[in-house]
Amino acid sequence: MKTHLLSAALIALALPALAAGTVDTSSWNQGGGEQDEALHLTPNHENGIEVYEVCSACHQLNGWGLDDGTFPQIAGQHYNVIIKQLADIRALNRDNPTMYPFALPSEIGGSQSIADVAEYISNLPMNPNPGLGAGDDLEHGAQLYKDNCVRCHGENGEGDNEKFYPRIHGQHYNYLVRQYQWIKEGKRRNANPDMVQQIQTFTERDTLAVLDYVSRLKPPAEMVADPDWVNPDFDW
């Protein structure tokens, strides 16, 4: 087993488009480099398993992360989104200094490995019991989501693979809150600038309510694992 740890949220999946509005893809998703290379490669499933063994130390063998928000659920995330986020971290377009040394090509391989692990993760079944918020302001959260988030993330938080908008349904509430704050404070340099601008007007109540609502959005049943599911690729 590889012993290197991809720590602090490997492919810490962002919310680059939580807010509605016109998206300037040239500013937050310029592409190029390893992102474009990986997107044009045919994934190797067996190598994806090997690379994911490194990731599993933080994201767990099932890809479900931790509900305290330290590590996000990455299972079932869009293939293109995973490639973008990992390529951005490696290119220093997204700051993640704890993860960065372990995400280097010398540790996990080049563009082919990005494609391989992205394919593997995108096909893992999702967590049936993600961490939730308090559940005490959901009507307000639902309205905020309808008014601000649907255009990019969809009615049910399903995102859009082709547009690089991540799935946010089924994500841990505490992780959503942490990433949202980093985007608002400018720590997520690869975030959609439309979102960065729009959420500046959100109050603390708005933030907690909408993210609590998001954490309760349900992925399609066929994408969700049974609560006792164990990843057979690591069932030794």
Give the CATH number for residue 169. Answer: 1.10.760.10
Residue 232 lies in a domain: no
- The more confidently predicted of residues 38 and 31 is 38
Query: Among the listed ranges 14-23, 41-50, 53-62, which one has the minimum average pLDDT value?
Result: 14-23
- The more confidently predicted of residues 170 and 57 is 170
Residue 231 lies in a domain: no
Residue 52 pLDDT exceeds 90: yes
For residue 186, the model assigns a pLDDT of 83
Q: How do residues 77-125 score in pLDDT, each as one tens digit?
A: 999 999 999 999 898 888 877 778 778 898 899 999 999 999 999 999 9
Query: Among the listed ranges 21-35, 39-53, 111-125, which one has the minimum average pLDDT value?
Result: 21-35
Name the percent of the chain in helix, strand, coil, to the closest 5: 45, 0, 50
* Confidence band, pLDDT 50/70/90 cuts, at residue 236: low
Residue 235 lies in a domain: no
What's the predicted TM-score (pTM) here?
Answer: 0.86
* Contact in structure between 11 and 94 (CB atoms under 8 Å): no
Listed in sequence order, the DSSP H helices in the chain are 25-28, 33-39, 45-59, 79-90, 100-103, 105-108, 111-122, 138-148, 150-153, 173-184, 193-198, 204-215
How many domains does the chain contain in total?
1
Q: Domain of 210?
A: 1-226
Mean pLDDT value across the chain: 87
Residue 163 pLDDT exceeds 50: yes
Residue 158 lies in a domain: yes
Residue 195 lies in a domain: yes
- The more confidently predicted of residues 92 and 222 is 222
Residue 97 lies in a domain: yes
Residue list for the binding site for heme c = 55, 58-59, 99, 149, 152-153
Residue list for the binding site = 55, 58-59, 99, 149, 152-153
Residue 50 lies in a domain: yes
